[in-house]
């Protein structure tokens, strides 16, 4: 696997066209202007002692152990804060420097507990290293003076401790919280001898604004801030590079191991998506992988009211295969299908869709991307020609104007949010389009220039209003459009958006956003330099999700903001591999690489390779599978790593459809909500137990590494292979790299991808082929993938989900930082300490009108169903809008969402449900039924309890 570069250069790398040559201890070295003497020394292979410097942070110059002598200069400048100069002659080792350094270290050590042998970071402590480096042999001041040795530990954070007695007040943690994370939770409190690190207003870490990203822990050179897992297990003995399995940022991690156990996950500094940073989920919330709730034995049962029977893998696979064939014999070839998972690797997803198309003999395969970003695939393909985001994350550092639409990266894509905030602190302007006041609108050192606080469901009206201003005020990039876009479609679009009914004034009542705010935001977007749009599920999960994606692309093309650094259209993909699962042919109408199943040339290539004849007709989408199940024509389902009962809308409808099927095979880590309706349970493997690749929101393909054996005996891809073989369709892969080789040979945008290349380069962004052997960071540079960029008319059509007297409020949904989607993983970690239940956010005005108190139980009723949650009264939501998260099954958030969906892709309209809210005293009927059903199912699986169960 990749070579680890763990060298700490002391100060950040500089980029400059000017080179500087100097001499350090007689070694000549040339570095970019702006580089520090410390970094230049390290690059020359010369180790200067340091304590307050580290290369992820700007130099601070407080510890004074890095002093050097520079010819012609008085005194002893700190090498970390001194920039290189041409002809400079530096000495890093002289008797005088050694004396000064030893003196400094004596001062530190005289106020430091001498418990090195029993200290958790023994062997991995920079203070210890520097003491060794400077040759510290005695402490002349003794240890009896005034000291901090009795200070109490703060153990409030579940993942790390703060042991103030070991702090050397180097400020690295404070700077990491500011510069790397952007949360500003820490300060140095007190002066001189009394100065100490403080979280918030001298609160505990848990009471402060800390979001537990761990950047401070990573930056701390001593044992002051230490992971509890390290305190418990000691230092790791080996490590491997892998990729986080939570969100679409795709952070690279060094999994530090002891035998087969993870000691800690350290964000990899060479990770191209995260540059050594992480959030609380990736760094700390991996305990679910070894949680006692993991199901490790295959199980079968005839009916869902029967007890589960543990069986061998052979029997479980044999039973599943015979059931699928029996159903096909009885109900026809199209009566079964499969669902792939955006949590699984590319190789696993590819195998599931191959199994469906080649072994089932139909195209009934779909993926959870159906319910999140399918409109992105559709909308970007239509307008730009490729179903993916246009940029790298790093591109945001070149953006002058950032527009965030329907996304809250601070909670859903936290590492990218930190990068975005860094750019905002450098002066980029910010426009937020969101019905709620999120952290992206206002938080420390973040203040949106314009917040378009629209009514849920009116995105398309807003994008038309923005476009109206651009077009009617002459802000279009005419030369760019003339050269790169389809002239007729631009003309038609221009005429459409110019109409008076699309003006901000005409649409203000519809959107709820004052016309002047829309006008100012549009002018800023069009005139402010490089403008980049980042959007999320607040764009896609609407009846007009695809229309809005096309509206965004229209606006970006019209202003010339696609095809270079700092601009672009960037969907923030939710799950770790949602981009990959779409790329791998998970949709019923598309083969891998987005080639339509009706394309006979594409089909012929796959037929030749797979040795089968493929059905040219698109298969069923997930909602069609449910409807067909209720009609009696769809009776068997293979569902890998996806909890459709909890995550799909209108839970009762999903549950009835599943209850109607004859054989449901669930492959998962836990007995999830869908497994409670299953007949065969195949244990899944966590990301730590398999090799493969994930593709993040930037189209970046990164390696997932097996760091421990598969707990149930097989990685997920092996189980799919066993099932295919049992169905009589031979699969003979011996390693996922062979699956990737097959993907690459059949998918033009992947032709150059191999495991070896990914390992050599760290990661690869597709397209990667002969035209771009090292991948494509930015797309559509000279021309759009489709040729001429095409504009589409985006007529605003109000959703049919109307508010009425009976349902007067709009419910919208979203996520929270510490939990992840259906919560199956994060609910089984200490992350529940931050968020242990889903709440309903309601505006004080609406709460008062209904007599709802803070924290009280409230019933929420929609046209689909009812549920009960506790209320949080907050002005973050606007009057008329309520909001909830959906991380706990017993909350039943999807009991109330409806069957409405995007016109083009069937992506559910999760973001708009008309509801009534009223105070209640007991759970809803659905919740009571759920509790009983859940109890029965746990009993049938011989389980006593399940984390997160009711
Ligand atoms: S864990 Fe992250 S947010 Fe919390 S104090 Fe440390 S750097 Fe700041
Ligand atoms: S907690 Fe660690 S990083 Fe922070 S000031 Fe103390 S020693 Fe330095
Ligand atoms: S930002 Fe996303 S990918 Fe990165 S550590 Fe957090 S959850 Fe994992
Ligand atoms: S490392 Fe340079 S002053 Fe601390």
183-236 tens-digit pLDDT: 999 999 887 777 889 998 889 999 999 999 999 999 999 999 999 999 999 999
Q: Whose CA is nearest to atom 3 of ligand 4?
A: 61
Q: Which of the four pLDDT bands, split at 50, 70 and 90, describes residue 948?
A: very low
Those residues with Cβ within 8 angstroms of residue 76's Cβ, 6 or more apart along the chain or in another chain: 67, 68, 69, 96, 97, 100
Query: In this structure, what token pair is assigned to residue 364?
Result: 């009934």
Cβ 56 vs Cβ 41: under 8 Å: no
Separation of CA 280 and ligand 1 centre (Å): 9
Is residue 143's pLDDT more than 90?
Answer: no
pLDDT on residue 718: 97
Closest CA to 293 of 834, 827, 856, 724: 827
Lowest-pLDDT range of 140-154, 415-429, 466-480, 516-530: 140-154
Q: What is the Cα 455 distance to its own chain's centre?
A: 26
Torsion over CA: 365, 368, 371, 374 (sign):
negative
Lowest-pLDDT range of 22-26, 165-169, 460-464: 165-169
CA gap 789, 795 in Å, rounded: 19
Q: Whose CA is nearest to atom 7 of ligand 2?
A: 167
Distances (CA, A) of 702 to 376, 394, 696, 911: 22, 16, 8, 31
CA gap 869, 586 in Å, rounded: 35
Ligand positioned closest to the Cα atom of 148: 2
pLDDT digits (tens, 9 = 90+) for 653-663: 999 999 999 99
Greatest extent of the chain over all pairs of C-alpha atoms, in Å:
92
Give the mutation target among 206, 211, 228, 830 for probing the ligand 1 site: most ligand atoms within 8 A of CB: 211
Cβ 340 vs Cβ 365: under 8 Å: yes
Atom of ligand 1 nearest to the CA of 186: 5
pLDDT on residue 142: 62
pLDDT digits (tens, 9 = 90+) for 293-317: 999 999 999 999 999 999 999 999 9
Atom of ligand 3 nearest to the CA of 576: 3
CA gap 287, 359 in Å, rounded: 36
Give the mutation target among 60, 175, 220, 222 for probing the ligand 4 site: most ligand atoms within 8 A of CB: 60
- Determine if ligand 1 sits within 6 Å of the CB of residue 183: yes
- Determine if ligand 4 sits within 6 Å of the CB of residue 169: no
pLDDT digits (tens, 9 = 90+) for 793-842: 999 988 888 889 999 999 998 887 888 877 778 888 988 899 888 999 99
Q: Whose CA is nearest to atom 6 of ligand 3?
A: 279
Mean per-residue pLDDT, 133-148? 72
pLDDT on residue 649: 79
Please report the DSSP string for 72-130 in residue order: T--S--BTTTPBP-TT-EEES--HHHHHHHHHHHHHHHHTS---GGG-TTTTS-HHHHH
pLDDT on residue 23: 97
- Determine if ligand 3 sits within 6 Å of the CB of residue 215: no
Ligand positioned closest to the Cα atom of 188: 2
Atom of ligand 2 nearest to the CA of 216: 3
pLDDT on residue 25: 97
Q: Whose CA is nearest to atom 8 of ligand 3?
A: 282
Mean per-residue pLDDT, 897-920? 86
Q: Whose CA is nearest to atom 6 of ligand 2?
A: 167
Report the b/e string of 789-809 with b at 16+ CB within 10 A.
Answer: bbbbebebeebebebeeebeb
CA gap 834, 209 in Å, rounded: 12
CA gap 735, 309 in Å, rounded: 31
Residues of the chain with pLDDT > 70, as a percent, come to: 98
Torsion over CA: 239, 241, 247, 249 (sign):
positive
Atom of ligand 3 nearest to the CA of 246: 7
Mean per-residue pLDDT of the chain: 93
pLDDT digits (tens, 9 = 90+) for 862-881: 988 889 999 999 999 999 99
Q: What is the Cα 400 distance to its own chain's centre?
A: 24
Give the mutation target among 167, 214, 421 for probing the ligand 1 site: most ligand atoms within 8 A of CB: 214
Q: Whose CA is nearest to atom 4 of ligand 1?
A: 210
Q: Whose CA is nearest to atom 2 of ligand 2?
A: 220
pLDDT digits (tens, 9 = 90+) for 715-734: 999 999 999 999 999 999 99
Lowest-pLDDT range of 19-23, 171-175, 225-229, 903-907: 903-907
pLDDT digits (tens, 9 = 90+) for 751-803: 999 999 999 999 999 999 999 999 999 999 999 999 999 999 999 988 888 88
- My answer on whether omega of the bond before 141 falls inside 30° of 0, hence cis, is no
Mean per-residue pLDDT, 413-420? 97
Ligand positioned closest to the Cα atom of 80: 4
Q: Whose CA is nearest to atom 1 of ligand 4?
A: 50
Is residue 639's pLDDT more than 90?
Answer: yes
Closest CA to 120 of 223, 17, 238: 223
- Determine if ligand 2 sits within 6 Å of the CB of residue 813: no
Is residue 892's pLDDT more than 80?
Answer: no
860 forms beta bridges with: 867, 917
3-class state of residue 579 by DSSP: helix
- Determine if ligand 4 sits within 6 Å of the CB of residue 514: no
Is residue 950's pLDDT more than 70?
Answer: no
pLDDT on residue 949: 34
Let me know how long the chain is. 950
Is residue 552's pLDDT more than 60?
Answer: yes
CA gap 432, 408 in Å, rounded: 9
Burial (CB count <10 Å: 0-12, 13-18, 19+), residue 907: buried
pLDDT on residue 476: 97
pTM above 0.85, yes or no: yes
Mean per-residue pLDDT, 175-180? 97
Position with higher pLDDT, 355 vs 152 = 355
- Determine if ligand 1 sits within 6 Å of the CB of residue 415: no
pLDDT on residue 202: 86
Closest CA to 502 of 555, 548, 464, 454: 464
SS3 content of the chain, % helix, strand, coil (to 5): 35, 20, 45
pLDDT on residue 399: 98
> Which single residue is written with the structure tokens 């039973």?
319
Mean per-residue pLDDT, 928-945? 87
Atom of ligand 1 nearest to the CA of 184: 8
Query: In this structure, what token pair is assigned to residue 134?
Result: 């400077």
Cβ 378 vs Cβ 904: under 8 Å: yes
3-class state of residue 582 by DSSP: helix
Is residue 858's pLDDT more than 90?
Answer: yes
């Amino acid at each position: 696997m990749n070579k680890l570069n763990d060298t700490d250069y002391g100060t950040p790398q500089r980029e400059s066209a000017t080179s500087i040559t100097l001499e350090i201890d007689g070694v000549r070295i040339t570095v970019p202007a702006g580089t520090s003497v410390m970094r230049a020394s390290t690059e020359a292979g010369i180790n200067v002692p340091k304590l307050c410097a580290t290369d992820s942070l700007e130099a601070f110059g407080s510890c004074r152990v890095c002093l050097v002598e520079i010819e012609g200069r008085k005194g002893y400048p700190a090498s970390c804060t001194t920039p290189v100069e041409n002809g400079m002659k530096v000495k890093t080792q002289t008797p005088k420097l050694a004396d000064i350094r030893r003196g400094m270290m004596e001062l530190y050590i005289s106020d430091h507990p001498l418990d090195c042998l029993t200290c958790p970071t023994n062997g991995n402590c920079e203070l210890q290293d520097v003491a060794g480096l400077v040759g510290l042999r005695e402490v002349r001041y003794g240890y009896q003076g005034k000291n901090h040795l009795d200070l109490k530990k703060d153990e409030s954070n579940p993942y790390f401790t703060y042991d103030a007695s070991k702090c050397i007040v180097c400020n690295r943690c404070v700077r990491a919280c500011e510069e790397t994370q952007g949360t500003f939770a820490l300060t140095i409190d007190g002066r001189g001898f009394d100065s100490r690190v403080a979280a918030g207003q001298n609160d505990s870490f848990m009471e402060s604004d800390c979001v537990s990203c761990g950047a401070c822990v990573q930056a701390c050179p001593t044992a002051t801030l230490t992971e509890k897992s390290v305190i418990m297990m000691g230092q790791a003995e080996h490590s491997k590079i892998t990729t986080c399995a939570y969100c679409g940022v795709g952070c690279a991690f060094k999994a530090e191991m002891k035998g087969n156990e993870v000691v800690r996950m350290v964000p990899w500094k060479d990770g191209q998506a995260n540059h050594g940073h992480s959030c609380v989920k990736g760094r700390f919330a991996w305990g679910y992988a070894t949680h006692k709730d993991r199901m490790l034995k295959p199980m079968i049962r005839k009916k869902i009211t029967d007890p589960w029977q543990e069986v061998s893998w052979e029997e479980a696979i044999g039973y599943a295969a015979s059931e699928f064939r029996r159903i096909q014999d009885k109900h026809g070839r199209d009566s079964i299908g499969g669902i792939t998972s955006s949590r699984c690797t590319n190789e696993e997803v590819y195998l599931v869709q191959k199994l469906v198309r080649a072994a089932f003999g139909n195209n009934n395969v779909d993926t959870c991307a159906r319910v999140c970003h399918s409109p992105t695939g559709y909308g970007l393909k239509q307008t730009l020609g490729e179903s993916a985001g246009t940029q790298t994350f790093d591109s945001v550092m070149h953006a002058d104007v950032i527009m965030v639409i329907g996304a809250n990266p601070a909670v859903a894509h936290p590492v990218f949010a930190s990068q975005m905030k860094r750019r905002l602190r450098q002066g980029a302007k910010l426009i937020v389009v969101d019905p709620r006041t999120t952290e992206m609108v206002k938080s420390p050192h973040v203040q949106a220039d314009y917040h378009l606080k629209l009514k849920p469901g009116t995105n398309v009206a807003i994008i038309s209003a923005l476009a109206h201003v651009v077009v009617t005020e002459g802000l279009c990039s005419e030369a760019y459009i003339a050269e790169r876009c389809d002239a007729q479609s631009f003309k038609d679009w221009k005429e459409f958006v110019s109409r008076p009914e699309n003006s901000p004034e005409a649409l203000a009542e519809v959107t709820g956003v004052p016309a002047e705010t829309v006008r100012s935001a549009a002018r800023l977007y069009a005139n402010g330099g490089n403008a980049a749009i980042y959007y999320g599920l607040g764009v896609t999960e609407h009846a007009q999700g695809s229309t809005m994606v096309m509206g965004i692309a229209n606006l970006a093309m019209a202003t010339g903001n696609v095809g270079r650094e700092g601009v672009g259209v960037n969907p923030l993909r939710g799950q770790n591999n949602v981009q990959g699962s779409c790329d791998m042919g998970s949709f019923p109408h598309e083969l891998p690489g987005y080639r339509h199943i009706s394309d006979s040339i594409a089909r012929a290539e796959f037929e030749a390779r797979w040795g089968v004849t493929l059905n040219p007709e698109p298969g069923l989408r997930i909602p069609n599978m449910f409807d067909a199940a209720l009609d009696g024509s769809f009776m068997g389902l293979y569902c890998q790593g996806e909890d459709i009962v909890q995550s799909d809308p209108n839970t009762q409808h999903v549950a009835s459809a599943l209850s109607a099927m004859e054989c449901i095979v669930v492959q998962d880590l836990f007995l999830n909500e869908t497994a409670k309706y299953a007949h065969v349970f195949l244990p899944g493997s966590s990301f730590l137990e398999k090799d493969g690749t994930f593709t993040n929101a930037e189209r970046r393909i990164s390696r997932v590494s097996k760091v421990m054996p598969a707990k149930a005996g097989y990685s997920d891809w092996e189980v799919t292979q066993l099932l295919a073989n049992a169905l009589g369709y031979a699969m003979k892969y011996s390693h996922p790299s062979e699956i990737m080789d097959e993907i690459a040979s059949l998918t033009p945008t992947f032709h150059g991808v191999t495991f070896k290349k990914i390992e050599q380069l760290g990661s690869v962004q597709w397209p990667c082929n002969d035209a771009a052997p090292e991948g494509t960071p930015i797309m559509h540079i000279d021309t759009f993938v489709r040729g001429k960029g095409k504009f589409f008319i985006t007529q605003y059509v109000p959703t049919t989900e109307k508010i009425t007297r009976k349902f007067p409020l709009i419910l919208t949904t979203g996520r929270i930082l510490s939990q992840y989607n259906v919560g199956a993983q994060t609910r089984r970690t200490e992350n529940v300490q931050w968020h242990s239940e889903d709440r309903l956010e309601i505006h004080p005005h609406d709460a008062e009108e209904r007599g709802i108190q803070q924290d009280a139980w409230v019933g929420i009723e929609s046209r689909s169903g009812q549920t009960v949650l506790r209320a949080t009264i907050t002005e973050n939501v606007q009057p008329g809008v309520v909001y909830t998260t959906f991380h706990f099954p017993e909350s039943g958030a999807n009991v109330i969402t409806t069957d409405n969906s995007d016109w083009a892709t069937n992506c559910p309209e999760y973001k708009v449900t008309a509801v009534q809210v009223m105070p209640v005293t007991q759970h809803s009927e659905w919740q009571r039924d759920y509790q009983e059903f859940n109890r029965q199912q746990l009993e049938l699986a011989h389980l006593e309890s399940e984390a997160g169960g009711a």
